[in-house]
Amino acid sequence: MTDTPRPNSLDAFWMPFTPNKAFKADPRMVVRADGMFYYTPEGRPILDGTSGLWCVAAGHNQPKIVEAIRKAAGELDYAGNFNMGHPLAFEFANRLTSLLPDRLDRVFFVNSGSESVETALKIALAYQKSRGKPNKYRLIGRERAYHGVNFGGMTVGGITRNRMNFGPMVGGVDHLPHTHDISRNAFSRGQPKHGAEYADTLERLVQLHDASTIAAVIVEPVAGSTGVLVPPEGYLQRLRELCTKHDILLIFDEVITGFGRLGAPFATQYFDVKPDIISMAKAINNATVPMGAVAASREVHDTIIAASETPIELFHGYTMTGHPLACAAGLATLEVFKEQRLFERAAELAPYWEEALHSLRDARHVIDVRNLGLIGGIELEPRPGKPTARALEAFRICFDKGLLIRVTGDIIALSPPLVIEKAQIDQIVDTIRSVLDGLE
């Protein structure tokens, strides 16, 4: 056939969340990675300021993780977990529970953050039905939230362009307001002082729908993909109180905040707020093999198991659930986190990171800087009539100058690997400043 794409053509791959025409006209390619850097085909280093996509927490090409994957592939390339099992899945689940709060220790493996959210929502609904409350079916998300791209997560999410082209989505969903309040909280260091009252909107939703119909509330402890929205002081605590008061499950989407990003194993420990269910992915095995997981409280798990009238208690799962290579990589990743003290390292670096980011307060076009742990957000003033254009240009120029950043809207989002050095933090900030100074 004359129209068959050539093997080295860029046409066949339909790229995700990418302006395909623009990229393929001027591609930015990397061919290998090591430590804090990607490398272009020409061998030019690109400092990774985003841990890939928030996910390579231990840095690239960790030898112990690479060897664990290689060994697993040579011993057990695949085994399903439907009515049979393999030891690595059970071992990894057990090891994960050591990072989780007490009794939040029943782990269901999936293959991505989107699947972990979908699974968490289904578990919440199954729990309510199992305890004899099938009318508790409503799910409450939050404006500007990102919970992946499957239909459930997209529906409880609140990013307009992720939702607008896909029809009515899942029914019975409502949303809390987001907490971004730049008029009161601009240039906050760590958690903003103002905005805990945004959690009280849940009371209004209870009055509208009645608590007897609400199954769960899902929030990101720190909203990442929408542009680093840090929760106001007291906000998550208040949300927990209201969910407990009204017999509503609280789900933390920790796909981004899990595994040391805030300097603690999970955001639940950092904020000292315990949800009923946690979704996780990304850094679970340093993003080397697709994987995610859901941790449910023992009460949620045991209720579903005990109430089942069929041998299979939860009709849910994936062909690749608990894949041997993914579990092997996860076990090795937990060892790397522990041996290199990466969670502690993130906590120790966080004050230096904060000072460096906030030094950009006077940089050109900057209207806000936000930070928590090793996460940063730099909000730019949009160009009149051209939202996102300034940030996208900054992304392209930063890449040309040897720095990978992430942009969402007119916000630069940063989340470097936890192995970053102070000199590399300085490089990130200096590069961004020079790029912004040259932008119109």
The reply to whether the predicted model has a pTM over 0.95 is yes
Whether residue 203 has pLDDT greater than 60: yes
The pLDDT of residue 3 is 61
Average pLDDT, the chain: 97
Q: Are 429 and 357 in contact (CB under 8 A)?
A: yes
pLDDT at 282: 98
Q: What is the pLDDT of residues 236-272, one digit of tens each?
A: 999 999 999 999 999 999 999 999 999 999 999 999 9
Under the banding of pLDDT at 50, 70 and 90, the label for residue 7 is low
Torsion of CA 63, 67, 69, 72, to 10 degrees: -160
Asked if residue 114 has pLDDT above 60, the reply is: yes
88-97 pLDDT tens trace: 999 999 999 9
Q: What is the C-alpha separation between 321 and 324, in angstroms, rounded?
A: 9
Lowest mean per-residue pLDDT among 4-18, 80-94, 205-219, 389-403: 4-18
% helix / strand / coil in the chain, to the nearest 5? 40, 15, 45
Which domains are delineated in the chain? 20-58+341-437 (3.90.1150.10), 66-339 (3.40.640.10)
Q: How far does CA 73 lie from the centroid of its chain?
A: 27
pLDDT tens, residue by residue, 47-62: 999 999 999 999 999 9
The whole-number average pLDDT for the span 82-88 is 97
Q: Residue 33 pLDDT > 70, yes or no?
A: yes
Burial of 149 (0-12, 13-18, 19+ CB in 10 A): middle
Counting every residue, how long is the chain?
440
Q: What percent of the chain has pLDDT over 90?
A: 98
Classify residue 386 by burial, with Cβ atoms within 10 Å: 0-12, 13-18, 19+. exposed
Q: Mean of the pLDDT values across residues 17-29?
A: 95
Contact 144, 180 (CB under 8 A): yes
* pLDDT recorded at residue 8: 72
Question: Can you read off the two tokens belonging to residue 178?
Answer: 């987001």
Q: Return the sign of the alpha-carbon dihedral for residues 242, 248, 252, 253.
A: negative
Specify the 3-state DSSP secondary structure of 129: helix
Quick one: pLDDT band at residue 142, thresholds 50, 70, 90?
Answer: very high
